Amino acid sequence: MVAIEHLLQIRASRTKVYEALTTQEGLGATWTTKLQVKPEIGFENEFNWGEEYITKMQILELRPEEKVLWECTESDPEWIGTFICFKILAEKEGVTTLILKHYNWQEVTDYYRSCNYHWAMFLLSLKQYLEEGKGSPYREG
């Protein structure tokens, strides 16, 4: 099994980072504008990428200001059964460190490599949203 991992430092509080990763407003401003999200364990967040391409993530764990854990239940076949974990580390001098780990991939493929790049772009969008007030989510059309 392999994993994608990224570390990001964001000039925002742990509370703001957690909210951006768990709310309709936050994920809509950073990942995709068409989504259904609830910060509730067991809920399946739904992210729409257009042309009926849907990704569903069941929420397994929510620890405010510390951790968010999803399991992919519907998407590209390589994503199904993978886990996405966001660890929010201690804030120091107004900077919060975030670790993204997307794990349980079966193997390194071209799609895996492409997803690694796209996770980095999502994190950049998250950073822009939290630091500058505007992210770069996917918009259909």
Instruction: Note the pLDDT of residue 71.
Output: 98
- Compute the distance between CA of residue 27 and CA of residue 10 in angstroms, rounded to an integer: 16
Residue 65 Rama label (left phi>0; alpha psi -120 to 50; beta): left
Establish if 58 belongs to a structural domain.
Answer: yes
**136 occurs within a structural domain:** no
Residue 34 falls inside a structural domain: yes
Instruction: Give 25-79 pLDDT, tens digit per residue.
Output: 999 999 999 999 999 999 999 999 887 789 999 999 999 999 999 999 999 999 9
Quick one: tokens of 84? 């996405």
Torsion, Cα 69 62 95 91, to 10 degrees, reads -120
Contact at 8 Å (CB) between 17 and 130?
yes
12, 3 Cβ separation under 8 angstroms? no
Q: What is the pLDDT of residue 25?
A: 96
- The domain in which residue 16 lies consists of 2-131
Q: Does residue 141 form part of some domain?
A: no
Q: How far apart are CA 4 and CA 112, in angstroms?
A: 8
pLDDT of residue 140: 65
- Asked whether residue 109 is domain-assigned, the answer is yes
Q: Is residue 137 in some structural domain?
A: no
Does any domain span residue 40?
A: yes
Query: Domain with 60 in it: what CATH number?
Result: 3.30.530.20
- Average the pLDDT over 80-103 and give the result: 96
Task: Quote the number of domains for the chain.
Answer: 1
- The answer, yes or no, to whether residue 125 has pLDDT greater than 90, is yes
Is residue 140 assigned to a domain?
Answer: no
Using CB atoms within 10 Å of the CB of residue 78, give its burial: 0 to 12 exposed, 13 to 18 middle, 19+ buried: middle
pTM as predicted: 0.95
